[in-house]
Amino acid sequence: MVAAGLAIEAMTAFVPEPVSSIEAVAPRLRLGRAKVKLFRKVHGLDRLHLDPDLSVLDLVTTPAARLVADLADPDRITHVVYAHTIQDVAPAGFDIATALAARLGLHRANAFALTQQNCASGLAAVDVCGELLAAADDPDALALVVTGEKAFSPMAQLIENTTIMGDASAACLVGRSGAGERVLSYHSRTDGRYADGIRLDARLNGQFGLEYAARLAETIRAALAQAGLTLADVELVVPHNVNVSSWRKVVELLGTDPATVFLDNVAEYGHCYCSDPFLNYTQLRDRGRLTAGGHYVCTALGLGATYAAMVLRHEG
């Protein structure tokens, strides 16, 4: 059960301008023609936004600074939470969360990182912030959740036969006013059998692949049940951008119209770690595709394996 009144009061995302085709990154990732064809024709990837000259700190500061600048009183932010997938996103001894808070001038905020659920850590951070704000019992307090990281090596950029990572970041102001994007429910489940992530042996990796769609569909249904809703009440599923082919299987199991899952950004951005659901949601909003009072399900999957879904109501 989510904290009473929990809402994402403001949300924004940032994508760097430089674009690379998947053919252009193939040599770095040691992808032959057959693998490139797999990613393009089967998985639906086309291009990635990648800026090798942009640091991780600059990447995450950009959207966060926008939200802080719009606040009349930034000291309302009591927590800065950097949610990321890769455990070591910066050199040892350099704390991105602390550096980000300092750069934003949020010297009174408690800054920390959350990464235990890999690419599902962003949605988890929103839920964690709800609990922290509820415990503090200050109706004006806010928490800043920030996502974004760089694919600094081929191992960090490629999930074999599954997806390729691009650069993007997002930021959310989480509060308990109920304004903005009202959080109606959050459901997650972790299956520790797959804790080795990209290092799974062939048997477990195959088993994970067979279970993936069913477990994600179950998670979506569980989040909706917590919110007292069904798929018929949902305007759109706002997914993580792992690939199109896996979502086809989820859609089939859900028994819903494929048009109710927003997959446009898979081709445009690839998979951007924890930022996917926030990036997709902000783009839907900016394109005028959110309906006042409409219900939306944001999803994420973290290797390890954590399945997560959060139901939002767009208050308009």
pLDDT surpasses 80 at 161: yes
pLDDT digits (tens, 9 = 90+) for 7-24: 999 999 999 999 999 999
Give the CATH number for residue 23: 3.40.47.10
Tell me the pTM: 0.95
Q: Is the peptide bond before 305 cis (omega within 30 degrees of 0)?
A: yes
- Name the one residue in this structure whose structure tokens are 């924004």: 12
Do 192 and 252 reside in the same domain of the chain? yes
Residues 168 and 274 in one domain: no
Give CB contacts under 8 A, 24+ apart, made by 155-158: 155/198, 156/86, 157/25, 157/28, 157/29, 158/29, 158/31
Note the pLDDT tens digit of each residue in 139-154.
999 999 999 999 889 9
Which of 175, 209, 230 is at the close of a domain?
175
Position 2 in a domain? no
What's the domain count of the chain? 2
Question: From CA 128, how far away is CA 3, in angstroms rounded?
Answer: 9
Domain that holds residue 71: 7-175
The answer to whether position 50 is within a domain reads yes
Task: Summarize pLDDT for 19-49 with one digit per residue, the tens.
Answer: 999 999 999 999 999 999 999 999 999 999 9
Q: C-alpha dihedral over 197, 198, 201, 206, to 10 degrees? A: 80
**229 plus 284 within the same structural domain:** yes
Q: Is residue 20 part of a domain?
A: yes
Query: Are residues 168 and 203 both part of a single domain?
Result: no
Gap between the Cα atoms of 185 and 242, Å rounded: 23
Q: Quick check: is 133 in a domain? A: yes
Whether residues 284 and 261 share a domain: the answer is yes
What does the mean pLDDT of the chain come to?
95
Q: Is residue 1 part of a domain?
A: no
Side chain identity at residue 271, one-letter code: H
Among 144, 175, 206, where does a domain finish? 175
143 and 15 within one domain? yes
